[in-house]
Structure 1
Amino acid sequence: MTLLRRRMNGPDNNLDQKNLVMAIALSVLVLMVWQSMMPPPVKTMPNQPVAEEKKTQPTAPATKPQSTAPASPSDAPAAQIEQALIEHKAIAQLSAGAIQQIELSNLDGQISRWTLLEEQYGVRSADPEQKPSPFAFARRRGADDELTSHFLPPTMSLKFDGRDIVGDFKVVKTEGDGIAALEWTDTQRQLKVIKRYTLDQSSYTVQVEVELINLANRERTYEMNASFGALQNNKEAEPSMFMPPLNLFNSLCMRNEDFERLPVSDIAEHINDGEPQLNRFGDGVRWAGMDNRYFMTALLIENAEIKSCAASLGEKGVSTPPGFSRLFTRIELQPGALAAAGQAGSSVVRKFKFYGGPKTLSELNVQDPPLGEAIDFGFFSVICVPMLWLMRLSFEYIPNWGIAIIILTIFVKLLTLPLTIKQYKSMAAMKKIQPLMKALQAKYSEDKVRMQQEMMKLYKEHQVNPLAGCLPMVMMMPIYFALYRTIYSAVELYQANFGGWLTDLSQQDPYYITPVLLGLLMIIQFRLNPSAGDQTQTKILMWVMPIMFTAMMLFLPSGLVLYILVNTVLGIAQQWYSYRKQDAIVPQKARAKR
């Protein structure tokens, strides 16, 4: 038993036990971070009207924008019948060079299709399991002609005197490729509506002006509302293994300084409990929209006030395919009044701006108000933003996002170099006094208190801190997690080609080459660590941990694996150099004493 106690309590084993505890703690921390990013399975609304969508109508949501204003029971059927009587047709197409293109419909003068034209954001795979949905407001079918998740067109609805109106618009003016004016006159209701669309030629925005003109000889009231939606495939919203879903849509609302992001599962949970809407915000709403990990839509108001913002599922009278959910962000504007025709105030112009595109930090922050909160950096935004800036700076000189990740990894390694050197020095010092620690262990094996006292004297005499090897690692963890989050959230890596078999850094390695290589390098790194203790613990560190991390890396984006791989290579090189230098210093000191 004495021998057993010596083996279990020896100084070498204490060092190995600390390493093992640290490794397990870091693994648990990684899993906790992963779980915090993984949403629960999507819950669908009960008793939703469902209908199988016809495969011969691939642009159905683009051709039938839904009214977003809450309608009374008497109004809703009339509005739906009126909308059904208007045959959809594309009446205008606006484009902004090679950036974006929108299509306008006669049906209520709405945007029926909005597509990004840049090659990086195009469709490269029909497999919805492996690719995020492209940014296109139109039905898209993937493998086996299966409908996939996608954004729905933004809609704007009008009410006059409390009644919904749906118009058949015509083009009255166009200027170049990016400006169009649509008009609709309703002689029965005595009103005219003019919509002017201006497509920004250098960004992902569309300026919209809605002019309401009262033709009646009496005062009229009006209400204006907007809606952003997404058709969510519930399978695509579920996480798989260690990878959170790419196609999970969220309802967004920015109220004063409070930002709310609600996925389908959260909204469905409340609606299943009997709540028609979730988190309805009142005064102070600055902007609202819809997003997934890499893309977003948003409404920015220029000369009107938002009355409320709410997230909801479903649409009355609109069928939803089985296995899907319709997610909406509804924005209600402050109502107004129009004076009688011919009088001052008989018309009003409301100005809006739609954003629809990638969640690029530089692009989002130049909007008014800024939309940068939509990028989910978690708790590490203060560190993530400069890291993303450095990646973009590297890309300007070397246009390869894989190289940008490598440069960022090297920079972070250099930044944490003093802490790493301190850690390695502490580990080397502990290795140096291990024979003395063994002697104390043998001498005071029956007196634990005296043994600990002598150990502390030994540490003090040789100026060794047993915790010094752990503290630098703990201090570096926020930096490493911020680097992880930066790469995880960066739309710049979406379909970014590094070279060779890594054609999309936002997706996992298709051949698992980098994860397996990482596992082998981790084994090498563990073998470099000083260890003369319990062989069972050594084997756990050397084999179980690399296998576990390799399994995790199989399902992470290849951009993240590339960062960890480069960081491991740098760590091995630095570790080897530090130990070699330390071994060279010890003989020199011995000769000096002679």
Structure 2
Amino acid sequence: MDWKKSLNIAAIGFVAWLLIIEWSNFQDDVASQIPQQESELTIPQPSQLPTLETQQVNQFSDELPLLIDTPAAVVETRVDARLVTVTTDAVEVTIDTLGGDIVQVKLLKHLTKMSEDGGEPFTLLTRSSKNEYIAQSGLIGKNGTDTREGRGAYSTSASQFSLEPNQSALNVDLTLNQNGVRLVKRFSFSRSGYVIGVSYLINNSGYEPWEATFYGQIKRDSHEPLVESSGGIQPYLGAALREADKNFAKHDFSDIQDETVKSSIEGGWVAMVQHYFVSAWIPPGDQKNNFSLRKLSGQDVYLMGFTGEKINVASGSYGEYMAQFYVGPKDQAKLEELAEYLDLTVDYGFLWMLAKPIFAAMKFIHEVVGNWGWSIILLTIGIKILLYPLSAASLRSMAKMRSLQPKMERLKETYGDDRQKMSQELMGLYKKEKVNPAGGCFPMLLQMPVFLALYWVLLESVEIRHSPWIFWIDDLSAKDPYFILPLVMGASMLLMQKLQPMPTDPTQAMVMKIMPIAFTFFFMIFPSGLVLYWTVNNLLSMFQQWYVNRQLASASAVKK
């Protein structure tokens, strides 16, 4: 039996199986199933406004508040009059002064589609009649602002805030007077950052000690992200958090629906993850925080949040509490800076230890060449050079096996009916010629983790979203509109087969012939950046095979 070819086909089949798994998650037309993004914030009716369900005071630090509808009589002001808009270079944020929730975030540097196609700022957080994805925060407990009777109604100096040209930071203060205690809920913004500081400044001028607990949570329904399809791929959508025994724990909506998730850890974070973008609450790193993921019974509402340690402010004194809320692209460097292991929301899967240095190398190349398409090509070349010793060993083994084909055919004709004798003679031939039948396969298998890691890097990198290469490829994160790259990739696979002898087994030969056609169809719906990588890799493999064959031919000629 030709073990080399069987193992090679098994390796190709393994890759095909992985691609089929990805393909099974594809959508024929994702955009037609995604709700259209609304240009204006839709204001919910008073009966839809959130408040908090009554709980025992001593339980507030252990349990995030549940949401119930507020009676219409509680709300006395017009809802639109409560909204405050803050604009920086990076975001446009809308805050509801009833409770101080972030009810809409538009990412000004990330568009719904290419700008020439009419792209608008991408709305990540929204509160509309169709969808709800907001960031809530407040105070609960003995002197909390959020109770069954309602939420704190804050006041502010203006309804519009923006950074002036000479400003690098901006604070937006919401104020509330509470029985001699002045509360300031402060939202802090930077010019081009995606981190929003959310802090409480407590000035207790009353006669009694003041006590409450801060909570922050992401409230979301299960709607698909308001973003166009990226090459037909639908990656992970769901919650993630750091747990005591796991640095990065993912829980999708179905997991949360089945079982509430609770965790308690010093520091930590809780996030809502989708393709390219993430929102996350980051509490103080030096305090013990309680995290919870749960679904409200009978509602399409998921809550992902935390409660911090109790805040105590003595009479006549001053207290402060601060958390951070990140809402924006999956910027690995910034996420790593914000909290330990938060950068793992850029999910490279089990090959993250290879993917992270690969991404770092690709980013370095981009800083030099300034184009992500050429960065992918140069990175692929660099990887092929690094792995050349393995590739060369594989190709030499394949060439030696090819040279033994006539002798193997004669053995098959002579001992075809006696499998035991055939195997003995084949092993003797391999030993005599000093050939390892698996030598052509194992080096290829050793390269596979690197190629799969690069696949995930290209899939997860927000930097590649809406990035052009050359000519008709104006978005490396979208599929090739004319399918030129997939056809070139399929042709390169056919040419590679021409350079290698086909297996003598008819079934194996048929599988080898079908592979280029199957891969071509798979890659037609893949992002063009992935297809570019695979095409360049195939072309480099063809060149390496030609070069090794030439070396072996020269060595053979010298011996003669």
Above 0.5 in TM-score? Answer: yes
User: In the alignment, which residue of structure 1 is the partner of 2:170?
Assistant: 179
- Read off the aligned partner of 1:110 and give its amino acid letter: D
Residues 295 and 357 of structure 1 are in contact (CA less than 8 Å); yes or no, is this contact kept in structure 2?
yes
1:58 has 2:41 as partner: yes
Q: CA deviation at 1:351?
A: 1.2
1:231-242 matches, within 5 Å, as 231-233=221-223
Residues 68 and 330 of structure 1 are in contact (CA less than 8 Å); yes or no, is this contact kept in structure 2?
no
Q: CA deviation at 1:373?
A: 1.8
- Read off the aligned partner of 2:104 and give its amino acid letter: R
1:459 has 2:450 as partner: no
Per the alignment, in what secondary structure is the counterpart of residue 286 of structure 1?
coil
User: In the alignment, which residue of structure 2 is the partner of 1:561?
Assistant: 531
User: In the alignment, which residue of structure 2 is the partner of 1:28?
Assistant: 17
Residues 300 and 369 of structure 1 are in contact (CA less than 8 Å); yes or no, is this contact kept in structure 2?
no
1:254 to 235, 242, 254: 242
Per the alignment, in what secondary structure is the counterpart of residue 27 of structure 1?
helix
Relative to structure 1, the CA distance from residue 453 to residue 351 in structure 2 (aligned partners, 3 Å threshold; closer, same or farther) is: same
Relative to structure 1, the CA distance from residue 156 to residue 569 in structure 2 (aligned partners, 3 Å threshold; closer, same or farther) is: farther
Distance 1:582 1:54 in 2: 61
Residues 63 and 112 of structure 1 are in contact (CA less than 8 Å); yes or no, is this contact kept in structure 2?
no
User: In the alignment, which residue of structure 2 is the partner of 1:263?
Assistant: 252
- Read off the aligned partner of 2:112 and give its amino acid letter: V
1:450 to 404, 410, 421: 421
Kindly tell me the number of residue pairs found equivalent between the two proteins: 531
Distance 1:330 1:221 in 2: 20
Per the alignment, in what secondary structure is the counterpart of residue 170 of structure 1?
coil
Residues 250 and 264 of structure 1 are in contact (CA less than 8 Å); yes or no, is this contact kept in structure 2?
yes
1:116 has 2:107 as partner: yes
1:190-269 matches, within 5 Å, as 190-233=180-223, 244-246=233-235, 249-256=237-244, 258=246, 259-268=248-257
2:460 to 486, 489, 512: 489
Q: CA deviation at 1:288?
A: 1.4
Per the alignment, in what secondary structure is the counterpart of residue 192 of structure 1?
strand
RMSD, aligned α-carbons: 3.9
User: In the alignment, which residue of structure 2 is the partner of 1:330?
Assistant: 305
Residues 398 and 440 of structure 2 are in contact (CA less than 8 Å); yes or no, is this contact kept in structure 1?
yes
- Read off the aligned partner of 1:156 and give its amino acid letter: G
Q: CA deviation at 1:267?
A: 1.8
Residues 82 and 166 of structure 1 are in contact (CA less than 8 Å); yes or no, is this contact kept in structure 2?
no
1:551 has 2:521 as partner: yes
Q: CA deviation at 1:485?
A: 1.2
- Read off the aligned partner of 1:548 and give its amino acid letter: A
2:549 to 569, 572, 579: 579
Distance 1:230 1:236 in 2: 13
User: In the alignment, which residue of structure 2 is the partner of 1:166?
Assistant: 151
- Read off the aligned partner of 1:85 and give its amino acid letter: E
**Superimposed CA distance per residue, residues 2-42 of structure 1 (whole angstroms, 9 cap, x where no aligned partner):** xxxxxxx6x6xx6655544443344235446777x899xxx
Q: Which moved further from structure 2: 80-89 or 366-375?
A: 80-89
- With normalisation by structure 2, the TM-score equals 0.82
1:361 has 2:349 as partner: no
Distance 1:446 1:284 in 2: 70
Residues 487 and 560 of structure 1 are in contact (CA less than 8 Å); yes or no, is this contact kept in structure 2?
yes
**Superimposed CA distance per residue, residues 45-83 of structure 1 (whole angstroms, 9 cap, x where no aligned partner):** xxxxxxx99989634379999657554599977955476
Identity of aligned residues (%): 24
Relative to structure 1, the CA distance from residue 554 to residue 416 in structure 2 (aligned partners, 3 Å threshold; closer, same or farther) is: same
1:418 to 380, 384, 389: 389
**Superimposed CA distance per residue, residues 514-565 of structure 1 (whole angstroms, 9 cap, x where no aligned partner):** 22221122111111112373566434312x1112111211222221111111
1:282-431 matches, within 5 Å, as 282-284=264-266, 286-302=268-284, 305-314=287-296, 325-340=300-315, 342=316, 344=317, 347-369=318-340, 371-431=342-402
- Read off the aligned partner of 2:239 and give its amino acid letter: S
- Read off the aligned partner of 1:107 and give its amino acid letter: L
2:486 to 515, 521, 531: 515
Distance 2:487 2:70 in 1: 59
Where structure 2 has 5 or more consecutive residues not aligned to the other structure, the ranges are 28-34, 57-64
1:137 has 2:112 as partner: no
Relative to structure 1, the CA distance from residue 311 to residue 387 in structure 2 (aligned partners, 3 Å threshold; closer, same or farther) is: same
Distance 2:69 2:104 in 1: 26
Per the alignment, in what secondary structure is the counterpart of residue 308 of structure 1?
strand
Residues 104 and 123 of structure 2 are in contact (CA less than 8 Å); yes or no, is this contact kept in structure 1?
no
Q: Which moved further from structure 2: 108-117 or 404-413?
A: 108-117
User: In the alignment, which residue of structure 2 is the partner of 1:6?
Assistant: none
Q: CA deviation at 1:432?
A: 1.1
Q: Which moved further from structure 2: 429-438 or 251-260?
A: 251-260
Distance 1:576 1:338 in 2: 76
Q: CA deviation at 1:252?
A: 2.1
Per the alignment, in what secondary structure is the counterpart of residue 138 of structure 1?
strand
Per the alignment, in what secondary structure is the counterpart of residue 407 of structure 1?
helix
**Superimposed CA distance per residue, residues 249-284 of structure 1 (whole angstroms, 9 cap, x where no aligned partner):** 32222134622221222223x1xxxx5xx2111243
2:76 to 66, 69, 85: 85
Distance 2:401 2:36 in 1: 69
User: In the alignment, which residue of structure 2 is the partner of 1:100?
Assistant: 91
Q: Which moved further from structure 2: 516-525 or 58-67?
A: 58-67
1:471 has 2:446 as partner: no
- Read off the aligned partner of 1:574 and give its amino acid letter: Q
Q: Which moved further from structure 2: 499-508 or 105-114?
A: 105-114
Relative to structure 1, the CA distance from residue 38 to residue 312 in structure 2 (aligned partners, 3 Å threshold; closer, same or farther) is: farther
Q: Which moved further from structure 2: 131-140 or 366-375?
A: 131-140
User: In the alignment, which residue of structure 2 is the partner of 1:156?
Assistant: 138
**Superimposed CA distance per residue, residues 92-141 of structure 1 (whole angstroms, 9 cap, x where no aligned partner):** 54444x333434443333334333222xx112279xxxx99935323589
Residues 62 and 113 of structure 1 are in contact (CA less than 8 Å); yes or no, is this contact kept in structure 2?
no
Q: CA deviation at 1:463?
A: 1.0
Q: CA deviation at 1:167?
A: 3.0
User: In the alignment, which residue of structure 2 is the partner of 1:48?
Assistant: none
Where structure 1 has 5 or more consecutive residues not aligned to the other structure, the ranges are 1-8, 40-51, 142-146
Q: CA deviation at 1:363?
A: 1.6
Distance 2:377 2:540 in 1: 11
- Read off the aligned partner of 1:409 and give its amino acid letter: T
User: In the alignment, which residue of structure 1 is the partner of 2:32?
Assistant: none
**Superimposed CA distance per residue, residues 474-523 of structure 1 (whole angstroms, 9 cap, x where no aligned partner):** 11111111111111111111122223332222222222222222112211
Residues 306 and 332 of structure 1 are in contact (CA less than 8 Å); yes or no, is this contact kept in structure 2?
no
Residues 415 and 421 of structure 2 are in contact (CA less than 8 Å); yes or no, is this contact kept in structure 1?
yes
Runs of 4+ in 1 over 6 A off after TM superposition: 52-57, 61-65, 73-78
Distance 1:577 1:470 in 2: 19
- With normalisation by structure 1, the TM-score equals 0.78
